Amino acid sequence: MEFDRRSVDRLPFHDPDEAEPIPETPSRDPRIQHLQRVPLFSGFTDAELRRVAELSQIVEVPAGTVVTQMGEPGESFVIIIDGTVAVRTPIGPGSQLQPGEFFGEMSLLDGEPRSATIVAVTDLRLLSVDRAHFWRLLEETPELIRRMLTVLSRRVRRRADDQRDRPRRAAHVTGRTRRPPWRGGESS
């Protein structure tokens, strides 16, 4: 008995919703390939990724390069594709940023100068979006705004936690603790 493959769609146990998804053909555009690895863009459609890629450029930066300088005007939003950067802020060294993380958005959002110096710890491959394209990107991909706000909120909270813990760490090293003036000033 010959099995007629055309009858598969008519079988009672065939559910088209349970069919194996056809894998998407990987993009040949290296910018899209890089974007697919960035958590900030997870779940974005191919069309959204293509739009992000159209509005960005890949930049290669050697280790030791100052990528942004605190106090200078910000002209781009940058996503790390490969490599690591060190963050230096007015209150001292910050954390290191890894692939998938981003920087430069604050100056573009508020128009103020850069709030940190970013230095390439290793050779970098970056995806850069300039000021004009940044606003178009946010208008065209509203989900990106939500994700960026979430990351920014976490950064602020982490910085506040670091500031709150700094006196405790100093007290541990020196053996001294500080009391607020209403609780009797300093003690040792």
In angstroms, what CA-CA distances link 171 with 84, 94, 162, 164? 32, 21, 14, 12
Residue with tokens 């958590």: 39
Name every residue whose Cβ is closer than 8 Å to that of residue 45 and which is 6 or more positions away in sequence. Answer: none
User: Does residue 10 sit within a domain?
Assistant: no
- In a domain, residue 92? The reply is yes
Residue 20 maps to a domain:
no
* Ramachandran region, residue 4 (left: φ > 0; alpha: ψ -120 to 50; beta: rest): beta
pLDDT of residue 124: 97
Report if residue 127 sits inside a domain.
Answer: yes
Residue-level pLDDT at 146: 84
Q: List, in sequence order, the alpha helices (H) in the chain.
A: 30-35, 46-54, 105-110, 131-140, 142-174
Q: With respect to residue 180, please indicate whether it lies within any of the assigned structural domains.
A: no
- Does 176 reside within a domain? no
Question: pLDDT value at position 62?
Answer: 98
Q: Which of 45, 26, 73 is nearest to 144 (CA)?
A: 45
Report how many domains make up the chain: 1
Quote the domain boundaries for residue 60: 26-152
Q: Evaluate whether residue 3 is within a structural domain.
A: no
Q: For residue 36, how many C-alpha atoms fall within 13 Å in the half-sphere facing its CB?
A: 14
Q: Does 58 fall in a domain?
A: yes
> What pLDDT score does 10 carry?
39
**Which CATH number characterizes residue 78's domain?**
2.60.120.10
Residue 170: what are its φ and ψ, rounded to 5°?
-65, -40
pLDDT value at residue 99: 92
pLDDT at 1 (0 to 100)? 43
d(CA 94, CA 116): 9
Output the tens digit of pLDDT for each of the chain's 188 residues.
443 444 434 333 334 444 344 345 567 777 788 888 887 787 888 888 888 888 899 999 999 999 999 999 999 989 999 999 999 988 878 789 999 888 988 888 888 999 999 999 999 999 999 988 988 888 888 888 888 888 878 878 877 777 777 665 555 555 555 544 545 555 54
